[in-house]
């Protein structure tokens, strides 16, 4: 019985993490790229996982500078970001389809 409870808890945790990851995807548009500083300016809709309820334009750091080489100003993107001690950081980004 204990094993069944552990398996059920693990499945519930996995499902909640998958939902959180899906909900973290934000749609936006590239407004500016600063490769030297490792930053990107994105105009985007609400980012509830970051506590942003309204659309806005904001400067983000990027976790991996290679992300900046994959996009150009004007591109529509989907991205994931997290709040870090140094500010908001884009952790994943790809061109929107």
Tens digits of per-residue pLDDT, 54-72? 999 999 999 999 999 999 9
- Res. 30: pLDDT tops 90: yes
CATH annotation of 26-95: 2.40.50.320
Per-residue pLDDT, averaged over 31-59, amounts to 95
Ordered by start, the domain boundaries in the chain are 26-95
pLDDT at 81 over 80: yes
SS (H, E, C) the chain: CHHHHHHHHHHHHHHHHHHHHHHCCEEEEEEEEECCCCEEEEEECCEHHHCECCCEEEEEEECCHHHHHHCCCCCEEEEEEEEECCEEEEEEEEECC
Q: What is the pTM of this model?
A: 0.74
């Amino acid at each position: 019985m204990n094993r069944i409870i552990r398996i059920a808890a693990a499945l519930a945790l996995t499902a909640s993490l998958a939902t959180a990851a899906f909900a973290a995807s934000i749609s936006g548009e590239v407004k500016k790229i600063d490769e030297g500083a490792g930053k990107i300016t994105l105009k985007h809709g609400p980012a509830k996982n970051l506590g942003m309820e309204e659309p806005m334009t904001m400067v983000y750091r990027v976790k991996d500078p290679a992300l900046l080489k994959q996009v150009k100003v004007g591109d529509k993107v989907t991205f994931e970001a997290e709040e870090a001690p140094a500010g908001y950081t884009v952790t994943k980004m790809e061109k929107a389809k």
